[in-house]
Amino acid sequence: MNPLKTLGQFIIEKQADFPYAKGELSRLLRDIGIAAKIVNREVNKAGLVDILGTVGDTNIFGEKQKKLDVYADEQFIKALKSGGECCFVASEEQEDGVELTDTGISKNAKYIVCIDPLDGSSNIEVNVSVGTIFSIYRRKSAVGNPLTHEDLLQSGVDQVAAGYVIYGSSTMLVYTTGKGVNGFTLDPSIGEFCLSHPNMTIPQKGLIYSINEGNYLKFPQGIKSYIKYCQEEDIQTNRPYTSRYIGSMVADIHRNLLLGGIFIYPQTATQPLGKLRLMYECNPIAFIIEQAGGKASTGKQRIMEIKPDDLHQRVPAIMGSTEMVDKVLEFMSKDS
């Protein structure tokens, strides 16, 4: 049994890994962990809220019930604001992002956080796992100067940290700072995330493919060919593979990270850039997957090498076990 190690202890221990080891990134990661615990508390009783009252009602404090993704967004922004290490938050819930440098404590903050506060939130009402996805960059311009496009639209390769929280049968926080991937499980009895999955790696090949096959007719031919490949009988390559897709990216990714597999949200005839967002869904997950030994591509290029031109831009995503991603790329180049 490993000795208990909390997220806070681990972050401090690994602080020497950070090129700017002054504790600022450590504090920022801890701020995210705190907000995750607050969101977890509300997500876990969401069903209860539905029984006791629906969104739009007022709670016992007379506060209006908020949609949980709005609530989650508010909690992460509040934690980042009070932590003082974040100068800008780009969020799925905020059209233009939130600049924090005008609040005293954050005026010298060096980090930018891109976040999907509650990804897959539509699954809450059917009690399917949902998640938070975050990506952290260091500002390029000097503190005290106005933030620039170069600060806010950095490629995924410039991430200093990234991770996700999965609010599932247990709540886990999984993150990387570029030195491997580590997973922490929330122990409600002590209210701490504890190291439960050190040095997470994704198997080079897996037997699970995750894609919304309802869109089959709208997929590019290469994706259609790959789906048929997954469904063929072939003992040597353990096919047919298993199809697993629950429509909550963090849950699908987490399962495939642990067991091996591939997650695909490609471009379609009606969504030419796919559905998933680059800055706060695909880049952070790509960082995790690559650090765990996997691969993350749009089908044409490495996701993390895309030069962003918009905070909310969408990109196609093919992410997971390296051999499976390579097989998709093979079909896509053959059928292009």
CA 144 – CA 141 distance, rounded (Å):
9
CB of 275 to ligand P6P, least distance (A): 6
CB of 18 to ligand P6P, least distance (A): 29
CB of 126 to ligand P6P, least distance (A): 13
By C-alpha distance, which of 132, 127, 137, 118 is closest to 285? 132
CB of 301 to ligand P6P, least distance (A): 21
In this structure, are residues 106 and 100 in contact, taking their beta carbons and an 8 Å threshold? yes
The residue ranges that bind ligand P6P (CB under 6 A) are 119-120, 212, 247-249, 275
CA 135 – CA 274 distance, rounded (Å):
20
CB of 250 to ligand P6P, least distance (A): 7
CB of 15 to ligand P6P, least distance (A): 32
β-strand pairing of 242-243 with 208-210 = parallel
In this structure, are residues 269 and 298 in contact, taking their beta carbons and an 8 Å threshold? no
In this structure, are residues 304 and 283 in contact, taking their beta carbons and an 8 Å threshold? yes
Q: What are phi and psi of 159, to 5 degrees?
A: -60, 135
Q: Considering just the CA atoms, what is the radius of gyration of the chain in Å?
A: 20
Nearer to ligand P6P, 248 or 267 (CB): 248
In this structure, are residues 319 and 286 in contact, taking their beta carbons and an 8 Å threshold? yes
In this structure, are residues 174 and 189 in contact, taking their beta carbons and an 8 Å threshold? no
Nearer to ligand P6P, 122 or 199 (CB): 122
Which residues are within 8 A (CB) of 160 and not within 5 positions of it... i.e. 6 or more apart?
18, 25, 111, 136, 137, 138, 177, 178
In this structure, are residues 83 and 27 in contact, taking their beta carbons and an 8 Å threshold? yes
Nearer to ligand P6P, 83 or 299 (CB): 299
CA 85 – CA 25 distance, rounded (Å):
7
Nearer to ligand P6P, 95 or 102 (CB): 95
Nearer to ligand P6P, 84 or 120 (CB): 120
Give me the residue label for tokens 């990234």: 162
CB of 247 to ligand P6P, least distance (A): 4
Nearer to ligand P6P, 120 or 308 (CB): 120
Nearer to ligand P6P, 5 or 67 (CB): 67
